[in-house]
Amino acid sequence: MVGKRVRGAVYIHREAIGLLPVSSAATLSDAVALAAGQSWNVARLEPEVVGLMQYEDFDRSAFPALLEATRIDLKTGKVSSTSYRSSVNPLILHRKELLVDPADVRVKRWAATTQSLVERGAFRENHRIGRAMEWSKRLAEFGLISVDDEVRAA
């Protein structure tokens, strides 16, 4: 199955939803219908809860920031949304190559960036690097900066 797995949830980019198993696609479809009109490009699928998240453009950001999140409780039908657009330290997305179709031409480049950072040790203590400020500090420790869709020497 395509997608990034984190603590029992599967994260998948909107472009790859055609690769989901039928049951997961149906769950996502139900959530999208309940969220009526919410913008999203990444879905987080759990058995009874779906998150529809709008991240920065994957092609313009090496580590896209979370802009908006909508939580849909499939059991109760409750929908709640939060905007992070004005956050000075938004959540960011690592390993974006796992969220798209493995055959996507961008995967090789994105995976190479991730692998390079893994080899340098940038993902150690990964529970500390989920927000933009901490991630920027971590990259700086290695003499790197994130510019657009790539990481380069500072």
Q: Which helix (H) or strand (E) holds 53?
A: strand 49-55
DSSP state of 149: T
Strand partners, 83: 68
The pLDDT tens digits for 101-148 are: 999 999 999 999 999 999 999 999 888 899 999 999 999 999 988 888
Whether the CB-CB separation of 51 and 80 falls below 8 Å is answered with: no
Model confidence at 150, in pLDDT bands (50, 70, 90)?
A: confident
Model confidence at 1, in pLDDT bands (50, 70, 90)?
A: low
The pLDDT tens digits for 20-60 are: 999 999 999 999 999 998 999 999 999 899 999 999 999 99
Question: Taking the CA of residue 105 as centre, how many other CA atoms within 13 Å lie in the half-sphere pointing to its CB?
Answer: 1
Whether the CB-CB separation of 34 and 76 falls below 8 Å is answered with: no
Pick from 39, 49, 51: nearest CA to 11: 51
DSSP state of 54: E
Q: Collapsing DSSP states into helix, strand and coil, what is residue 12?
A: strand
